[in-house]
Structure 1
Amino acid sequence: MSMDMTTVGDSGLLDALQHEVAVFARRAEQTRLGGVGQVRNSMDRAAYLLLNRLDKEGPMGVKALAASMGIDSSTVTRQVAPLVDTGLVKRTSHPEDGRAVVLQLSPRGHSRLDEVRSSRRQLMADLTQDWAPEERAAFCTLLTRFNQSLSARMAAQGVPGADQPTQS
């Protein structure tokens, strides 16, 4: 049984929570949580998520990549084009069907993704430097749970890709 928390005197906390989520979303978009140093803000969210997915799942076609990310194939095609142009992603022929195209990270793409991950990891370390390890773990657990709840709600509303894992 679900309870409407606003009826149990929690409306002030829920107001504060929705405000902090809105502030977080704005700040995350403004800074792109890009990291620190020279690679700060140097890779947009779409590129990072695409490269990260190819790194974790390996080479795949446009349709498979789109399905795994829960987005339209035309969106993947549009987002991958500049990654191919800059040499971060390679297009190759499918080994079993020469007409099909397979996307994979290039060595340059792996290197660039490693740089961005390292920079973003350092940003997270900087932002939480005065947090106890248990606080970092609790925040990660709760943020993951929040994202999963948001995804479940979006999926229930029929939003495409809402049921995709949050790690990529």
Structure 2
Amino acid sequence: MPTSSDMTTPTDPAVLDALQHQVAVFARRAEQSRLGGVGQARNSMDRAAYLLLNRLDQEGPMGVKALAAGMGIDSSTVTRQVAPLVESGLVNRATHPEDGRAVVLQLSERGRTRLGEVRASRRALMEMVTDEWTEEERAVFCTLLTRFNISLAAITATMPPAGAAS
């Protein structure tokens, strides 16, 4: 069975130009709308909070370092982003069950409810945006966008930080 690298063909520069342009347009539109959903929950949760709560919901309680590593960001950034979530009762700090000195973060019941509301709002927006698409088109787009994000994360993980001397 051929691998994906066996099937790679030279890419037309015009296609790459169109792709980078469409990604830039998407990034601008996503930032303008914040892809915050529709209805009462629209734009009620920033991207960082949504991603942190979503990870805790999907993977369960974890420490700051594990959360940061899983998200590909610095521990100090996670600490800063989690603080208001703890203050607002969306995330609880708990003692690690195996190491009483360590702290784990976990989604509170209030956080789980709030995340559900925001997910439903964002799901409604995705339904509106793709209203004229078939289920197969939605699935293919999701698969390709996931693949794109995984590839982009892998490449950016090997790049020096922005502004670093080359």
Between 64-73 and 109-118, the greater mean CA deviation after superposition = 64-73
1:39 is the counterpart of 2:38: no
CA distance in 2, matches of 1:122, 1:101: 36
- Displacement, 1:3? 5.6
Per the alignment, residue 97 of structure 1 pairs with 99
Scaled by the length of structure 2, the TM-score of the pair is 0.86
- Displacement, 1:149? 2.1
Extract unaligned runs of 5+ from structure 2: 162-166
Gap change, CA 1:21 and 1:90, over 3 Å in 2: same
Number of residue-to-residue matches in the alignment: 155
- Displacement, 1:4? 4.9
Gap change, CA 1:95 and 1:152, over 3 Å in 2: closer
CA distance in 1, matches of 2:157, 2:45: 28
1:135 is the counterpart of 2:140: no
Between 10-19 and 26-35, the greater mean CA deviation after superposition = 10-19
CA distance in 2, matches of 1:3, 1:119: 40
1:69 is the counterpart of 2:71: yes
Scaled by the length of structure 1, the TM-score of the pair is 0.85
Residue 98 of structure 2 aligns to a residue whose secondary structure is coil
Show the 5 A alignment for 1:1-168.
Answer: 4-5=10-11, 10-157=12-159
Percent identity over the alignment is 74
Question: How much is the aligned-residue C-alpha RMSD, in angstroms?
Answer: 1.7
- Displacement, 1:157? 2.9
CA distance in 1, matches of 2:154, 2:94: 35
Per the alignment, residue 162 of structure 1 pairs with none
